Amino acid sequence: MTVRAAVAGASGYAGGELLRLLLAHPEVEIGALTANSNAGQRLGALQPHLLPLAGRVLQETTADVLTGHDVVFLALPHGQSAAVAEQLGPDVLVVDMGADFRLRDAADWERFYGSPHAGTWPYGLPELPGARAALEGSKRVAVPGCYPTAVSLALFPAYTAGLAEAEAVIVAASGTSGAGKAPKPHLLGSEVMGSMTPYGVGGGHRHTPEMIQNLSAAAGEPVSVSFTPTLAPMPRGILATCSAKARPGVTAESVRAAYEKAFADEPFVHLLPEGQWPATASVTGSNAVQVQVAHDPAAGRVIAVSAIDNLTKGTAGGAVQSMNIALGLDETTGLPTTGVAP
């Protein structure tokens, strides 16, 4: 099979990571590459690490340019995907790496994004219960947010197994690429190196309703989420430290068993041996997820920690994994499973 793929938004970090993965994908041929303000520029000037594509010139993001591909990846600012997707026809696989089609609740969307809700597409986190089936053969995929990917994978087994109370407390550290490539003073290297700082504290981060949606589905009841993201001095990676009160009777053994069962057949999620904890460097550039879980009897909590690469499993790798499933390819095709470490 040769899959012809177009990428709308090829000059940003998500688009760049996607192209890095697609270059190594044996079934994909890279077609049109588009951008907004960067249209007309050589990709080599904007993504100097994508050496095999250095000579490619970015086109305008129009339906004409994107038409004629088997897959179109949208790495656009939120709110722009629906208009593009509509023009591409129902037979083209459209993989939206933005937020537009992730939420099921229109009110949630409107409260956090301030614009009309575009709809809901099959959700590209195949490891969640039922998600894989919804992706198979689908022509539309909503790629999850990076934080929800890390947090949902860390906590859903505790909820599906009924081990945890419905109040999750999450503190996550993200590399700076999660904040995008648009230059802002607080993202300057001078500012971020040597510093950690929180943002969107107190429920304000747009990824919160997506986490609530995933964890509530796993729990079968509404789960509240206290989410504090922090910006860490590294380019990539998310470390999500997640906890919830343990239900009565929970033990270290029951927690371990639930997680072993949840991830037993997952090709990308690695429940680490007891005593070893996730590190973001171990998954840099890979689609792998490291998870570890513990029971703290003194504090009465279940603590689960996950590490992902926000750009790979958290964005572009998740997109390719979902594409593979949607197209009937082996789910792991073209996706790196080893981190670039040290």
The whole-angstrom separation of Cα 195 and Cα 190 is 9
DSSP state letter for 250: -
- Residues 22-41 touching a copy of itself, rule: CB under 8 A, are 23-24
| Residue 184 interacting with a copy of itself (CB under 8 A) | yes
Check whether the bond before 209 is cis (ω within 30° of 0). Answer: no
| CB neighbours of residue 299 within 10 Å | 11
Pick 93 or 262: Cβ nearer a copy of itself: 262
CB 121 within 8 A of CB 142: yes
Tell me the one-letter amino acid at 197: T
Q: Quick check: 318 binds a copy of itself (CB under 8 A)? A: no
Using CB under 8 A as the binding rule, whether residue 251 contacts a copy of itself is answered as no
Q: Mask: binding to a copy of itself, 51-90, rule CB under 8 A, as x and -? A: xx-x------------------------------------
Indicate the pairing of strand 164-174 with strand 238-246: antiparallel
Residue with tokens 């793929």: 5
CB 223 within 8 A of CB 215: yes
- 224 binding a copy of itself? (CB under 8 A): yes
Name the minimum Å distance from CB 263 to a copy of itself. 12
Smallest gap from Cβ 125 to a copy of itself, in A, equals 19
Site for a copy of itself in 151-170 (CB under 8 A): 167, 169
Q: Is 146 assigned a catalytic role?
A: yes
Catalytic-labelled residue, pool 103, 146, 161, 212: 146
Distance (Å, whole) CA 274 – CA 271: 9
Among 1, 188, 251, 260, interactor with a copy of itself by CB under 8 A: 188
Out of 32, 270, 313, 326, which residue is the one contacting a copy of itself (CB under 8 A)? 270
Indicate which single residue of 68, 86, 105, 195 sits in contact with a copy of itself (rule: CB under 8 A).
195
Per the CB < 8 A criterion, the answer to whether 287 and 100 are in contact is no
CA dist., res. 200 & res. 116, Å (int)? 22
Chain positions 272 to 311 lying near a copy of itself, rule: CB under 8 A, are 272-273, 276-286, 288, 290, 292, 294-301, 303, 305, 307
Please identify every residue annotated as catalytic: 146
